[in-house]
Amino acid sequence: MDFISNQEPQIKEMLKEIGIQSIDELFCDIPDNLKLPRPEKDDGISEYEGIRHMETLAAENTFPYYESYLGAGAYEHHIPAIVSAITSKSEFLTTYTPYQAESSQGMLQSIFEFQSAICALTGMDVANASLYDAASACAEALLMALRINKKRNKVLVAKSLHPHYRYVIRQYLESFKTEIELVSFAENGQITDLQIDEETAAILVQSPNLFGVMEEVKSISEKAKAVGALTILCANPISYGLYASAADQGADIAIGDCQPLGLPLNYGGPYAGYMGCRQELVRQLPGRVVGETQDQEGKRGFVLTLQAREQHIRREKATSNICTNQALAALASLVAMLWYGKEGIRKLALTNYQRTAYLKSLLEKLPGVKSWGNVPHFNEFVVQFDQPIDDVVHRLREQGIYPGVRLDRWYPELENSLLIAVTETKSKEQLDRFAEVVAKVEG
């Protein structure tokens, strides 16, 4: 209550009004072991002291002083300066969710351009205004597929899909009593033993998957189409600069996370999920869609369209309860995409691929280090060490390197394995040093 500068008389009056004796009674339901003790003396601190205190706390964050090869869904990429220059403009930074189309033409135009960019990237016919992140996009895409294939109640999900995405999917779908069948992967990281029957509504594949391995999506989509199931492809958007688009791979719905394009790591968010689909499926596309139109004077304008959400129609007819989108984060990704352009994204993707392949080739030459089979990769790859993974990670951190993500946290069978991510932010000298440190560890 201190932040509104209440004095003792005001505090007593409010406590009397709600029928309690002290402020502490407001928190009586919270266990004592979760409460911080009240300081014996609280004189406050000055603005300068507050700044110094925050700097001291910030100094405990070691990330800027380490070389990070962490990935698994969130990547360290260069963010062009133009991104913050545009997104920090007050028209975008402080705008509220544009429920009423006519009151926010500028924001609606940015969303429309974002949708257009996602369509160009994925090859899909239509895209929505964005979702919260890739995890929610995965779940919403499966719900969309179940609405389209109403008589089917089973979905296939690749076990190589990010485990966090799978957790969200299970949370979304458990109330629908949907059967979720996991599709296993082979020793090279690609899907194996795929069985799609006529009870399957859709299959959800990630490519590049959690391990950075590119899947044979074209053959998977052909099997799905043969039995009337939909193919949902979750992908790092930068990968489309190098590999075939979602449409060319036969996907019906394309989803993923925009974080690699223009969004900082931010300790996990906020990010923006993207979703596109074929034209004939648009009526079941969740969230909001911005359309282009003309006013009475023939001027270009933008409106929210296909608003089949529960705030507009009967709940049982709604495609979703998504009534907003990650507008600011989506704008940041849009600015990054426009800054790079078609050729720039291709070069960015190629740079990421080449630097990943370079480090992978260096590590493969070292004794005691094994990589997965010769399959197409993008941005990251898996290596297995002869030594205990705790020792490897500890030794690398001593040299100022966060070497990657341990996979045994999600896949116990992948003992002593690391998922290593490489982006354009790593130089040849840094990659050489990584390999040299590993060589000393294994030596």
pLDDT of residue 1: 39
Based on the domain organization, do 87 and 225 belong to the same domain?
Answer: yes
Residue type, 301: G
Crossing angle of helices 163-173 and 134-148, in 10° steps, is 40
pLDDT of residue 311: 56
Domain that holds residue 43: 2-48
Each of the 443 residues of the chain gets a pLDDT tens digit; together they read 345 667 888 889 999 999 999 888 888 899 988 888 877 766 678 889 889 999 998 888 766 678 999 999 999 999 999 999 999 988 888 766 655 555 578 888 999 999 999 999 999 999 999 999 999 999 999 999 999 999 999 999 999 999 999 999 999 998 888 999 999 999 899 998 899 999 999 999 999 999 999 999 999 999 999 999 999 999 999 999 999 999 999 999 999 999 999 999 988 889 999 999 999 999 899 988 899 999 889 999 888 887 655 556 666 666 676 767 888 999 999 999 999 999 999 999 999 999 999 999 999 999 999 998 789 999 999 999 999 999 999 999 999 999 999 999 999 999 999 999 999 999 999 999 999 999 988 66
Count of domains forming the chain: 3
Residues 139 and 167: their CA atoms lie apart, in Å, by 10
pLDDT tens, residue by residue, 178-217: 999 999 999 899 998 899 999 999 999 999 999 999 999 9
Based on the domain organization, do 70 and 204 belong to the same domain?
Answer: no
pLDDT of residue 2: 44
Based on the domain organization, do 271 and 152 belong to the same domain?
Answer: yes
pTM: 0.85
Based on the domain organization, do 238 and 321 belong to the same domain?
Answer: yes
Based on the domain organization, do 264 and 388 belong to the same domain?
Answer: no
pLDDT of residue 374: 83
pLDDT of residue 247: 97
pLDDT of residue 20: 92
Based on the domain organization, do 347 and 390 belong to the same domain?
Answer: yes
pLDDT of residue 442: 64
Closest residue by Cα to residue 279 from 147, 152, 124, 140: 124
Based on the domain organization, do 91 and 192 belong to the same domain?
Answer: yes
In a domain, 368, yes or no: yes
In a domain, 262, yes or no: yes
pLDDT of residue 267: 84
The CATH number assigned to the domain holding 359 equals: 3.90.1150.10
Based on the domain organization, do 124 and 271 belong to the same domain?
Answer: yes
Cα dihedral 278, 283, 285, 288 sign = positive
Cβ-based neighbour number of residue 233 at 10 Å: 28
Based on the domain organization, do 122 and 259 belong to the same domain?
Answer: yes
Closest residue by Cα to residue 75 from 246, 255, 271: 271
pLDDT tens, residue by residue, 297-336: 999 988 888 765 555 666 666 667 676 788 899 999 999 9
SS (H, E, C) the chain: CHHHCCCHHHHHHHHHHHCCCCHHHHHCCCCHHHCCCCCCCCCCCCHHHHHHHHHHHHHCCCHHHCEECCCCCCCCCCCCHHHHHHHCCHHHHCCCCCCCHHHCHHHHHHHHHHHHHHHHHHCCCEECCCECCHHHHHHHHHHHHHHHCCCCCEEEEECCCCHHHHHHHHHHHHHHCCEEEEECECCCCCECCCCCCCCEEEEEEECCCCCCECCCHHHHHHHHHHCCCEEEEECCHHHHHCCCCCCCCCCCEEEEECCCCCCCCHHHCCCCEEEEECHHHHHHCCCCEEEEEECCCCCEEEEEECCCECCCCCHHHCCECCCCCCHHHHHHHHHHHHHHHHHHHHHHHHHHHHHHHHHHHHHHCCCCEEECCCCCEECEEEEEECCCHHHHHHHHHHCCEECCEECCCCCCCCCCEEEEECCCCCCHHHHHHHHHHHHHHHC
In a domain, 390, yes or no: yes
Residue type, 428: K
Based on the domain organization, do 34 and 68 belong to the same domain?
Answer: no
